[in-house]
Chains A and B, each alone.
Chain A
Amino acid sequence: AQSVTQLDSQVPVFEEAPVELRCNYSSSVSVYLFWYVQYPNQGLQLLLKYLSGSTLVKGINGFEAEFNKSQTSFHLRKPSVHISDTAEYFCAVRKETSGSRLTFGEGTQLTVNP
């Protein structure tokens, strides 16, 4: 079974500051890794994903994440945040097997203050 731990439930930052949202995972098999964003009362939108290849993955809205296999981490970063980045962020993993379920972390609420 897989598990995901998001180390920070809430991250408050000021506008234009850099941010890192931390995610660690546990799995006995190879997995795909994902970051999703959820705005209030909406579904999930994919920010980025790691499937294979380069460990630095770039996504939408200026976000990027780095896969670190030895530390089993997939931290999400953005060099300069905007007010509009305020949302809930979920890290998720899935086995590489077709049709496998996603396992989500508990989420991190990012609040960007002016």
Chain B
Amino acid sequence: GAVVSQHPSWVICKSGTSVKIECRSLDFQATTMFWYRQFPKQSLMLMATSNEGSKATYEQGVEKDKFLINHASLTLSTLTVTSAHPEDSSFYICSATSGSSYNEQFFGPGTRLTVL
């Protein structure tokens, strides 16, 4: 199946700094990428949907100025958590879809962010 990678797999940063997480589709072109966050013992919460070359569509309650999403190419999307605070600590997961007949989403392995 299609492979999606995320980098880094985990990151620890100080409060007030910014962190960039990369999501790459390794063997297909991702027309749409999704960003989720997951708190411990909870389900995935969709943060935003991004289409290559377009501005991301954010879900209600997600601050677009805090969570900057860039989808500059068909194989790369980035999520930047700006001025991170401890409450931003979470597991961030991306997924990508190729626009095939039924548009299966392929998930990355996730990035564990810890803000001190």
User: Which residues of chain B are within 8 angstroms of A46 by Cβ–Cβ distance?
Assistant: 1, 104
User: Which residue of chain A has its CB nearest to the CB of B10?
Assistant: A41
Residue from the set B1, B49, B102 with the largest chain A CB neighbour count within 10 Å: B102
Q: Given A42-B110, A44-B107, A46-B104 in contact, is the A98-B43 Cβ separation under 8 Å?
A: no
Instruction: Decide if B116 is an interface residue (CB 8 Å cutoff).
Output: no
> Which residues of B from 69 to 116 have beta carbons under 8 Å from A?
91, 93, 95, 97, 99, 102-105, 107-110, 112
Bound together, the chains give a CA A32 to CA B103 distance in angstroms of 10
- Cβ of A101 and Cβ of B103 under 8 Å apart? no
- Cβ of B103 and Cβ of A99 under 8 Å apart? yes
Number of interface residues of B (CB under 8 A): 27
The SS class assigned to the B binding surface is strand
Instruction: Decide if A54 is an interface residue (CB 8 Å cutoff).
Output: no
Tell which of B6, B41, B44, B51 touches A90, judged by Cβ atoms closer than 8 Å.
B44
- Cβ of A43 and Cβ of B32 under 8 Å apart? no
* Closest CB in chain A relative to B54 CB, distance in Å: 11
Instruction: Decide if A104 is an interface residue (CB 8 Å cutoff).
Output: yes
- Cβ of A51 and Cβ of B102 under 8 Å apart? yes
Instruction: Decide if B34 is an interface residue (CB 8 Å cutoff).
Output: yes
* Closest CB in chain A relative to B96 CB, distance in Å: 11
* Closest CB in chain B relative to A49 CB, distance in Å: 7
Measuring CB to CB, which residues of chain A are less than 8 angstroms from any residue of chain B? 32, 36, 41-46, 49, 51, 90, 94, 96, 98-102, 104-107, 109
What would be 25 A-B contacts, judged by CB atoms less than 8 Å apart? A41-B91, A41-B112, A43-B4, A43-B107, A43-B108, A43-B110, A44-B44, A44-B93, A45-B107, A46-B1, A49-B104, A90-B44, A94-B103, A96-B102, A98-B99, A99-B51, A100-B103, A101-B34, A101-B46, A102-B34, A102-B46, A102-B95, A102-B105, A106-B42, A107-B42
| Top 6 A-B residue pairs of the complex, sorted by shortest distance between their CB atoms | A43-B107, A44-B107, A43-B109, A43-B110, A104-B43, A106-B43
